[in-house]
Amino acid sequence: MATTSKRQQLEQWTTLVADTGDFDTIKALKPMDATTNPSLLLAVAKSEAGLALFKQANQLAKQYSPTPDASLLCDAFTAIVGSELLKIVPGLVSTEVDAQLSFNTKATVERARRLIALYRLRGADTHRILIKIAATWEGIQAAKVLEAEGTRTNLTLIFHPAQAIAAAQAQATLISPFVGRIYDWYKNRGEDVASDPGVAAVKTIFHRLKSMGSDTIVMGASFRSTAQIEALAGCDRLTISPALLEELARDKGSIKRQLSAELEPQEKTVFSYSEAEFRFALNQCAMSTDLLSDGIRRFVSDQQTLETLLSEPAVAA
């Protein structure tokens, strides 16, 4: 029996990220980084702190433009929440671009630039902000432009190695492969999940990127159990829900490191994807295409709900 918790052991090898936008929970859990998406932002908007944050977002939006529309109000709210998170965590905060732009490179770049400008109006350290973009081909190309400009990116909704490799080619700072959603997809179809296809997918992605010599950070996301987390001990980063972080903190059992960049082959393997090869690879994988589309739809739905809330007269006054 270990004298330290599983969370403490895991932190020796892996940077832990809180998968929540709740300020009090993050203060209590003390993760290194934090991440947001439209679903988490919507939860913050519906909390007791929501109305006060709406007011701040309205003021920030009017600093940027005297006549803000719903999308600008939403971006301002995102920057307000992200700025508060920067005060709580010592590391990085991911901020998602409107998922409705997932298939428009130019619009994604422009929206990312606006988010960074809003953060700067708040006096935030934008080097600690990761602009989070769905890993469509268009999103990956937007990340390439932004990284060249000095804006760091997090490519999310990763389900296939082709997405990860194309993201690494684009010099993305970080990618987020989704363990639990991959697991659920196979389980819901009655397939054998004893070997956990979600964990296997992240291991494959980790091995591919490290064997390429890529500096892109691999951050496993969307966990259903601590067993999945333990199976990826040593992954660069893991973003974990509060409930699972607390479970790891209570457990004094021992865990072993499963992944290490130092253990990857010394001879670097070169992988690359053209646009046609990328699209064909995803097309041939029903799981990846289903989950990428579903993830975008979910984020779009929550984004639209958030825009509606922020446009209400009591909030936008």
Residues 6+ away with beta carbon under 8 Å from 231:
196, 199, 258
Q: Can you count the helices (H) and strands (E) in the chain?
A: 15, 8
Q: Residue 127 to residues 58, 90, 94, 137, 151: CA-CA distances in angstroms?
A: 24, 12, 11, 25, 7
User: 17-33 burial string, b = 16+ CB within 10 Å, else e?
Assistant: bbbbbbbebbeebebeb
Q: Look at strands 129-134 and 15-18 and give their pairing.
A: unpaired
Q: Is 7 exposed, middle or buried (0-12, 13-18, 19+ CB in 10 A)?
A: buried
Q: Are 237 and 220 in contact (CB under 8 A)?
A: yes
Residue among 6, 27, 132, 268 flagged as catalytic: 132
- Identify the DSSP state of 124: -
Q: Are 78 and 96 in contact (CB under 8 A)?
A: yes
State yes or no: is 187 an active-site residue: no
Per this entry, what is the length of the chain? Answer: 317
Q: Look at strands 237-240 and 15-18 and give their pairing.
A: parallel
- Positions marked active-site: 132
